[in-house]
Amino acid sequence: MTTKININGTLEENPQISVFDHGFLFGDSVYEVVSTRDNKPIYLDRHLTRLNNSARGLSLEIPYDNERFSLEIDRTLQAAGNEESYIRIVVTRGVGDIDIDPSSCQTPNVIIYVTETHPYPRESYENGINVALVSIKRNPKEALNPGIKTGNYLNNVLAKMEANKLGAQDALMLSPSGYLTECTTSNIFFVQGERILTPAIDCGILPGITREVVLQLARENGFPVEEGSWPVETLDKLDEVFLTGTLKKIMPVTRLDGKQIGNGKPGPITQRLMRLYDATLQSLG
Ligand SMILES: Cc1ncc(COP(=O)(O)O)c(C=O)c1O
């Protein structure tokens, strides 16, 4: 496995970041995770658009334009020379005083991590995973809006820890007003009969790039999809559930709180969308 770290345009043999960086001190940063096909970034333009939107949400000025990002990512991918890569882009507020006020930070730091990708186990795609509905609520969007992908993921870390304790692979969180939102690093879809339901962005979720592609694929292929505010009772009547995310792609969920969903195997709609999504990725670039 080769890992290469690019800090502000330099490929560092011994990468270091200051303990005074507000990304480290306060989680004051934005980030993206990008996957590859043939070791080339997938949906990079969409990830950079979201990165810029996140930065705008924090009034953080990103010193790179998309062309510079593309160049630095390519350079780092080439240096690492993996078959397929995991790319993480982080932009921090930069070095400043030990004070919550970001105005002492002069220059954001741009860090690009490239490492070998670790695919999820094949068994998870074949049999599905167990997700727990946890007591930790998703951040209210009036506080730290989950639509902004920041380096402060403690809400999700706590939810993940609760899921671990419950023996589940991921945690489903409710919004403070009791509606279904998303999992710790993925969006969620529910299937009831022919209907596919997913929480609307307004519920306080990250606008997932995989979610967006899956919504489009579902609609183009004649599946009725509804984005909305779904109460917790929605979970009482489920035929299929799946998660979406850049790394996991479409991941079937076959147990909720340990209870079997449907016949306990990935359902037909999930499987169809998994095939359509894979075909879409194959057709890129
Ligand atoms: C909280 C959260 N929701 C959803 C997603 C899925 O987004 P994407 O499909 O863009 O990877 C992520 C990805 O990291 C996430 O962190």
* Residues of the chain below pLDDT 70: 1, 285
> Do the two domains 4-116 and 122-282 of this chain adopt the same fold?
no
Give Cα 135 distance to the centre of its chain: 21
Whether residue 110 contacts residue 64, with contact meaning beta carbons closer than 8 Å, is answered with yes
Domain 122-282 adopts which CATH fold?
A: D-amino Acid Aminotransferase; Chain A, domain 2 (3.20.10)
pLDDT at position 132 is: 98
CA 248 to centroid of ligand 1, rounded, Å: 10
Q: 249 in helix, strand or coil?
A: strand
Whether residue 120 contacts residue 247, with contact meaning beta carbons closer than 8 Å, is answered with yes
Domain assignments of the chain as residue spans, ordered by start = 4-116, 122-282
CA 185 to centroid of ligand 1, rounded, Å: 5
pLDDT at position 285 is: 66
Other C-beta atoms within 10 Å of 28: how many?
Answer: 22
For ligand 1, which residues put their CB under 6 angstroms from it? 33, 156, 182, 185-187, 206, 208-211, 244-246
Amino acid at 105: C
Query: The domain 4-116: what is its CATH number?
Result: 3.30.470.10
Whole-prediction pTM value? Answer: 0.97
